[in-house]
Chains A and B, each alone.
Chain A
Amino acid sequence: MSTRTFQLDQDQAPLHRALLRYRKRRIVSFDVPGHKQGRATPELTEFLGANCLSVDVNSMAMLDNLIHPISVIKEAEVLAADAFGAAAAYFIVNGTSAAVQAMILASLNPGDKIIMPRNVHRSAINALILARAVPVYVNPGLDIELGIPLGMAFKDVKAAIEKHPDAKAVLINNPTYYGVCPDVKRLADLAHENDMRLLVDEAHGTHFYFSDDLPLAGMDGGADFSAISLHKTGGSLTQSSMLLVGKRVMEDAGYVRQIINLTQTTSASYLLMSSLDLARKNLALNGAAIFSRVIQQADYAREEINQIGGYYAFSKERCDGDAFFSFDETKLSVHTRSMGLSGMEVYERLRDEYDIQVEFGDLGNFLAIVSIGDRPVAIERLIAALSEIYRLERRDPRGLMANEYIEPHVAMTPAEAFYAKAEQLPLKDCIDRVCAEFVMCYPPGIPILAPGELVTKEALDYISYAKSIGSNMTGTEDLAVEKLYVVI
């Protein structure tokens, strides 16, 4: 169910329409791209399809230009803003990473402070390097039984604001990877009362905008910016994304575009942009029905998984009205540690034994994303495979490590550490040194160590345990993640 109403005719897809028109005109092109509608690349054209290559084109008058939109891209962005209840929307083709960076860069000047939970995606901390900004980390809170980080308690954010009244912005995840949402509205009000902006990393929350049964979406809660990954749960092509802007920052709309253009390509892909246009149309017209079906499927899966025994597919019952304010029921987050298997092990079994790919596994949980494209048979297969893993592999849970919150010790800003003179040492020799790069499991891409933080024994223990259960580690220059750059 959705009570959202639109001002514009959401049945329109101006960019899509312009591309259809372009294709019909059969223009002879002496411009880039050099493949010329796929004629130069038979193997690629055969692989991706001639239709696809025929609209892989460059900006031109009839197709507008993303760095300076005045016609069909502008119209598509205006429709998107209307669909998401935002004051403005910007199409992004460099992933939601670029949207996250744009909202941070647009809100902070060098040296400015930003209040954020530590369980942010690496793109947010990368933005701090680019912005030369100073993070003030807030402990996001922990669901101890499940071992998952939460979305920050109100009082913890308030305390951080009181301690750092000069901060310019507060950044939140809505939701976290596991589907946990903070109280967006209350946090937006709190930030605004203190003259700060509320920035929302909504990479996993696109669908919130189209169902009343899901947590409150950033724009609806009064946020100033939302970075939404249409490609994750909205049905657009990988790497396409949007930045939404609330009405309080509309006066800076031109500045936001300039910031986006600092790093965004001047050859934005029309494949990606048209996928945003059509995904937006589909979400606006059919989103409510789609997500009520998705929620039903996920609920069904949770019920069945909880009957197998051993697993705990959690949902709204974990909500506490604060750091776990609400839960995204389309996330099938399943706790596995009490049956003696790490989430990572279940993730691997599903992939290797049953050809089922879930989003990620950590020490005690795995996450399956149910979305717009799922069929009942796929859900049945997942449940059946989990029931097999339980039958064949459950173990004594003693000895398995639980997720804990590792308090970061920030010794310098991410930018200072990143640009400082550094040396590369074996991990074990890095204790008490200042880290100059990231270490994380990917997914979820939440740093265990970020530039500027002291390397603690806890962090190293966590890294070695995560490696031992087969987590995919990234972030360091050393691809084997055995050595780390630390500041000299």
Chain B
Amino acid sequence: MNRYELWFNEFHTEHVTFSFRVDRQLLQKTSDFQRIEILETPEFGRVLILDGIIMCTEKDEFIYHDMIVHVPMAVHPEVKKVLLIGGGDGGALRELCRYETIESIEIVEIDLDVVNAAKEFLPTMATSYDDPRVNLIIADGLRYVRRKENVYDLIIVDSTDPFGPGESLFTKEFYGNCYKSLKDDGILVNQHESPFYGQEAREARLTHRRMKSVFDLSRVYQAHIPTYPSGHWLFGFSSKGLDPIKDFDADRWNALGLRTKYYNTDIHVGSFMLPNYVLELIGELS
């Protein structure tokens, strides 16, 4: 008997695809904002796909979520109020909720259908929606943050790419509004695209430039995420003064006794050391 094979394909550029075998599709739904799919795969476990682009997989999401959460948490001495923009899959929320010192987390996700999909199909990520400190707000991030002034210690922007519903989360006006809503020692961390392929690289450069024009301090750090284009991914660390290396307190973070699969305090320092081509791309090569 002939058996056909089901493969998922994502175009990383016009000329490059990334593909993996699919066992079955668990969900396909078109929300008001995007097409949401969840696939069951032999290699990566469950995979969340938005508008044809991989958002996260059960196998490697820990890398992304460790790096977007623990890096700023190990720098800021006392994070109490957090704003998480995007991140409907729940992975970043899960990591944040491990810190007892955090008093409140507002998660602002534009698409309720993503949250519902995660709750139903991604139980290892959407673990923390019921935490009493978490307040889920279904709203446009740009609009939400515009009305806030001087309230947050940490803002995490866990967005899709700038070519869809995440578009406004890559704009200068958004960063400016975030700046206004942060306290004086506030930090903003955002996903910063990849430095490798043309389109993402351009966005990475622009994003860094915009960040620098708004924040007092802006650094870029990196991680290796196998299912993202090129596997080489950047994050942005921006603040009103706190420095990701000078103000980083490894002992304090280690004393918390959190077990992590990717992040550790050596990676923390190392992740801010960038290859020359990346430094050149973001205009930081001296």
- A residues apposed to B, CB below 8 Å: 353-355, 376-377, 380-381, 383-385, 387-388, 391-392
Cβ contact within 8 Å between B168 and A388: no
Cβ contact within 8 Å between B177 and A384: yes
Q: How many A-B Cβ pairs are below 8 Å?
A: 45
Q: What are the nearest 3 A-B pairs in CB distance? A: A384-B173, A388-B176, A385-B173
Would you give 11 A-B contacts (Cβ < 8 Å), ordered by A? A354-B171, A354-B172, A355-B171, A376-B140, A380-B143, A384-B142, A384-B143, A384-B176, A384-B177, A387-B173, A391-B176
Cβ contact within 8 Å between A384 and B140: no
B165, B172, B174 interface centre (most CB from chain A within 10 Å): B172
- B residues apposed to A, CB below 8 Å: 140, 142-143, 146, 165, 167-168, 171-174, 176-177, 180
Cβ contact within 8 Å between A381 and B173: yes
Find chain B residues with CB under 8 A from A381 CB. 142, 168, 171, 173
Cβ contact within 8 Å between B167 and A377: yes
Find chain B residues with CB under 8 A from A385 CB. 171-173
A353, A355, A377, A381 interface centre (most CB from chain B within 10 Å): A377
Find chain B residues with CB under 8 A from A354 CB. 171-173
In the bound assembly, the distance between CA atoms of A303 and B278 in angstroms comes to 43
Once A376-B140, A383-B146 are accepted as A-B contacts, the answer to whether A392 and B176 lie under 8 Å apart by CB is: yes
Q: How far is the CB of B136 from chain A (nearest CB, A)?
A: 20
Find chain B residues with CB under 8 A from A376 CB. 140
* New A-B pairs, 7, CB < 8 Å, besides A380-B168, A391-B176: A376-B140, A380-B142, A384-B146, A384-B176, A385-B172, A387-B146, A387-B177
Closest to A377 in B: B168
Closest to A375 in B: B167
Looking at chain B's contact residues, the main secondary structure is helix
Find chain A residues with CB under 8 A from B174 CB. 384
Cβ contact within 8 Å between B180 and A384: no
Closest to A353 in B: B172
In the bound assembly, the distance between CA atoms of A384 and B147 in angstroms comes to 10
Find chain A residues with CB under 8 A from B171 CB. 354-355, 381, 384-385
Q: How far is the CB of B178 from chain A (nearest CB, A)?
A: 10
Q: How far is the CB of B86 from chain A (nearest CB, A)?
A: 14
Find chain B residues with CB under 8 A from A383 CB. 143, 146
Find chain B residues with CB under 8 A from A384 CB. 142-143, 146, 168, 171, 173-174, 176-177
In the bound assembly, the distance between CA atoms of A428 and B176 in angstroms comes to 44
Closest to B149 in A: A391
Find chain A residues with CB under 8 A from B146 CB. 380, 383-384, 387
In the bound assembly, the distance between CA atoms of A52 and B55 in angstroms comes to 37
Cβ contact within 8 Å between A388 and B140: no
Cβ contact within 8 Å between B168 and A391: no
Once A377-B140, A380-B143, A381-B142 are accepted as A-B contacts, the answer to whether A388 and B177 lie under 8 Å apart by CB is: yes
In the bound assembly, the distance between CA atoms of A392 and B180 in angstroms comes to 10
Find chain A residues with CB under 8 A from B167 CB. 377
Find chain B residues with CB under 8 A from A377 CB. 140, 142, 165, 167-168
Q: How far is the CB of A311 from chain B (nearest CB, A)?
A: 14
Q: How far is the CB of A238 from chain B (nearest CB, A)?
A: 25
Find chain B residues with CB under 8 A from A392 CB. 176
Closest to A378 in B: B168
In the bound assembly, the distance between CA atoms of A381 and B177 in angstroms comes to 11
In the bound assembly, the distance between CA atoms of A377 and B177 in angstroms comes to 15
In the bound assembly, the distance between CA atoms of A377 and B164 in angstroms comes to 10
In the bound assembly, the distance between CA atoms of A353 and B171 in angstroms comes to 10
Q: How far is the CB of A271 from chain B (nearest CB, A)?
A: 28
Question: A353, A355, A380, A391: which contacts B180 (Cβ < 8 A)?
Answer: A391
